[in-house]
A = this chain, B = another copy of it.
Amino acid sequence: MYAVIMAGGSGTRFWPASRTHLPKQFLRITGEQTLFEETLARIRPLVPDSNIYVVVNARHAAMTRQLLGTCAAEVLIEPQGCNTAACIGLAALHIRQRDAHAPILVLPSDHFVGDTARFTHLLTAAARIAGAEEAIVTLGVPPTRPETGYGYIEVGNEQGEAQDVSYFQVERFVEKPDRDTALHYLASGRYLWNSGIFVFTAQTILSEIAHHMPRLYAGLREIEPAIGSARYAAVLESVYQKLEAVSIDYGVMEKTRLPIYVLRADFGWSDVGSWQALYELRQEAQDADGNLLLGKAVAVDARQNLVYSTTKRLVALLGVEELTIVDTPDALLVSARHRSQEVRQIPELLRRSGYSQLC
């Protein structure tokens, strides 16, 4: 079994904690470890270290290697971020040289999983299904709200069981819906959130890329003979400059004629997509007044605030409610908590205002 941890993402929704040089997967927001380390720790019992491939942006390669510590995973460095299709194609290319028919677990590096044992059980089942036939297996999260920020999976008939886990035919992948559609999806009970977790063999996914994304496949074919050679980095750089940034969902999943199966990911999943999501996720760490104080803080008559600090400064709250306060050495955010989705506007504004070094 192989694993691909996709750690090439960049985002600004956790500004000012997250920056260009420090995206979300490298933040310690859900616990003592970074989301990347937590992802790695979940996957290591399933996959031998040497079969784990971590795909990162060049600017985060050194940090990734440091976080890997003694884990002998392979680090694949992308010269620039190019969305998930290229990331997965590149990793599958490397893995195909070792084993074209072994199942590969493909995982985002910046999600939260509550129940690791259940996660392990489901991925083992998914790998068994994906290894047994030329199929794509994905995990879908039972929706709990009419979320408009996720893609959805329409679920069809049950296809069978693997290790006591039922799996279902995927009717279709659908992109982020509008509010009314999301309400309909939620009410129907026939839709799951697309978790971004996939299992397939290298042979399967590369065939599909060849079929549905011929330009990407041509690029991968250019890279293939350079693997292990001194010119690898230069070829990669040259190829990546020509690639379009397309997601695997759009590039392959929405178009494939292969069977796709989905398992219900009932292991306490969150994509931790905003400060608000983090606040909701970590109820266990909230104080009696609903304050989530991640850092040195005192609160006087303050309720339901989120404080996240990467400094040693004391944060004192007095008489405030439902704020997100993020304290870093060079920038401080004070935001209405329910407006977390708009946080990304701040680095955009700063870039236009000559404060690029804070983005």
Contact = CB atoms under 8 A, between A and B. Distances in A.
A332 B318 contact: no
A316 B342 contact: no
Contacts of A336: 318-320
A275 B327 CA distance: 21
Interface stretch (A168-176, A221-229, A349-357): A349-357
Given A313-B329, A318-B339, A339-B319, A298 B334 contact: no
**Interface residues of A, dominant DSSP:** mixed
A300 B331 contact: no
Interface in A302-350: 312-320, 323, 325, 327-336, 339, 342-343, 345-346, 349-350
A131 interface: no
A16 interface: yes
Contacts of A334: 315-318, 320, 323, 325, 334
Contacts of A346: 298, 300, 316, 318
A355 B314 CA distance: 9
A358 interface: yes
Pick the most buried of A312, A334, A339: most chain B CB atoms within 10 A of its CB: A334
Contacts of A339: 318-319
Q: Say how many copies of this protein the assembly contains.
A: 2
Given A320-B336, A332-B315, A342 B300 contact: yes
Contacts of A314: 330-332, 350, 355, 358
A5 to B, nearest CB: 31
B298 A350 contact: yes
B335 A317 contact: yes
Contacts of A330: 312-314
A346 B297 CA distance: 11
A346 to B, nearest CB: 5
Contacts of A298: 346, 349-350, 353
A320 B330 CA distance: 20
Nearest to A330: B313
Identify the 9 closest CB pairs spanning chains A and B, nearest first: A319-B336, A318-B335, A319-B339, A314-B331, A316-B346, A315-B332, A316-B333, A313-B330, A317-B334
